[in-house]
Structure 1
Amino acid sequence: MDVARYLDRINFRGEIKPDIATLTKLHQHHVFHIPFEALDVYYGIPVILNEQHLFCKIVEHRRGGYCYEVNELFARLLQKLGFAVHRISGRLASGNKFGREFEHMALLVEIDRQQWLVDVGYGDFALQPLLITHGHIQNDGHNEYRIQHGVVADGATYWQTGKWNSIKLCFVTDYIFTTTPRSITHFEEMNRWKQTSGESKFRRTAICSIPTQSGRVSLVGNRLIITNNKEKEVQLLHSEISKRVALQRYFNIHFPVDEMTHPGGLANVRQAV
């Protein structure tokens, strides 16, 4: 891995130490420069989880990715920089129900005997690491988060991430997770499922999202959603060309127009993954 090029991709400057101050700065630069997106899944382009492929896509071609891609590449960067990092499994929340094991991948970083949840691949989530400690409310400058322990699902006990919802006036769960170290191979099956199953939302809907200093910009299907100081504007995109223009303007993604032919390529995905 070319560490210097990766740091340039996220516009990171300054001294690097394996401490929480550096980790926080790296995390913030990462989420503000590399979008959460699953465009390859939508357009039938295989998602391959090896370092060379991910580096080429995210750093050289200046794309983003979904959890397995951006968190995996970020984990490898952090390891190169001297951090103690583990991949961990998450299960997404839907009301009081939880999804499958390994459907989300996040990172756990250990610093001075403290464990930090690091997740640059979820989308609208914390803009900095969260200390894994029960009940402590943490603020990333935009939202408040709380991590709690003791959620039981299918006989196992999990940690729970919650983000403050100002409408519901409560913390709403994003996902549950354990701190058990995993390898990237544990997530391969779910990576294949997300690319090939008709139940996968990423196959049905083009998704791309990135935070801004005053809010967030998201492309969801044929809608471009711009949130600025909690005010939301929605623009309808009526063609693949208009999507390409929005991707270039708001996300700096130059997606080849000849690849924007959903749902073509599914056979290639199945063969590749």
Structure 2
Amino acid sequence: MDIEKYLNRFHASSDSKPSLHQLSELQRLHMTKIPFENLDVIRRVPIYLNLHSIYDKIVLRNRGGYCYELNGLFHWLLEQLGYDASLIAATVYRPNGRWAKPETHAAILVQMDEPYLVDVGFGDSTILPIPLNGSPQTDVSGTYSVEQVGKGLFDLIRNRNGDSRPLYRFSTNMKQLVDFHEGCVFNQVSRESTFTHVDIVTKATAEGRMTVKDYEFTVTENGASKTTPLSKNEKDAILSDLFGINI
């Protein structure tokens, strides 16, 4: 696996030494260039927790992925660049007010002068590292903070348009990519998974986010969203032109 090819994939550089500024730039660029997507899940193409196959998909084939792929490979990159980074497990809080299957989301904890939550594989979320000390961080998608809810247990909270809710609950216990095998299988085959029903492709933009969900295209700019229905040809064109994905 070639570090420079991976960095070039999302227009990043390895020139700087590890710092919070560089970490923030890496996360922002990754999330605006490499989409979160479940296209392989819907097409029943198996996803394996193997960094070489993930690298091939994301870097060489210009694809995105879901959390295990995106955060798994980004975690590897951070370690290669000299960061003290660990994979961690999280439980997603769904919009319906119910918790998803426990510890089936993979995120990253990076130790700088203090620990930061880093996540390039959640979809609609922050493009910034979030400190675990409770300090709020604001980007175009909302204001985010981490709240401790138990020993080594924290919630990622988002406040947007006056609505405050957790996105997920995570533990600081270190994980290996292989530890997510059960979750990776569940999210590929279970009808209870968010990702087994319709295509979802999304990435951050400077003004907000753009998302293809099934045959709808939603663009969010500065908090305002517009959704447009798509034909198959229109959907294929958007995936190719705006996301760089050709299936």
Cα shift readout 1:154-185 (whole Å, capped 9, x = no counterpart): xx86200111121xx24211000010001111
What does 1:20-169 correspond to in 2, within 5 Å? 20-94=20-94, 96-112=97-113, 114-133=114-133, 135-150=134-149, 158-166=153-161, 169=162
Cα shift readout 1:225-251 (whole Å, capped 9, x = no counterpart): 112233322111233x33221201221
4+ residue runs over 4 A deviation: none
Assess if the C-alpha contact under 8 Å between 2:116 and 2:129 holds in 1: yes
Compute the TM-score of the two structures, normalised by the length of structure 2. 0.94
Assess if the C-alpha contact under 8 Å between 2:7 and 2:14 holds in 1: no
SS in structure 1 of the partner of residue 13 of structure 2: coil
> How many Å separate the matches in 2 of 1:126 and 1:216?
11
Cα shift readout 1:10-49 (whole Å, capped 9, x = no counterpart): 1013622122111111111111110111111011111122
Report whether the alignment pairs 1:224 with 2:217: yes
Residue 96 of structure 1: how far off its partner (Å): 4.8
Residue 127 of structure 1: how far off its partner (Å): 0.5
Give unmatched runs, 5+ long, in structure 1.
256-273
Assess if the C-alpha contact under 8 Å between 1:102 and 1:186 holds in 2: no
Partner of 1:251: 243
Assess if the C-alpha contact under 8 Å between 1:58 and 1:64 holds in 2: yes
SS in structure 1 of the partner of residue 144 of structure 2: strand
> How many Å separate the matches in 2 of 1:25 and 1:211?
13
SS in structure 1 of the partner of residue 103 of structure 2: coil
Give unmatched runs, 5+ long, in structure 2.
none
Residue 140 of structure 1: how far off its partner (Å): 2.9
Partner of 2:229: 236
Q: How many matched pairs?
A: 246
Cα shift readout 1:63-96 (whole Å, capped 9, x = no counterpart): 1111000000000011111111110000011355
Residue 130 of structure 1: how far off its partner (Å): 0.5
> How many Å separate the matches in 2 of 1:158 and 1:226?
34
Give the root-mean-square deviation of aligned CA atoms: 1.6
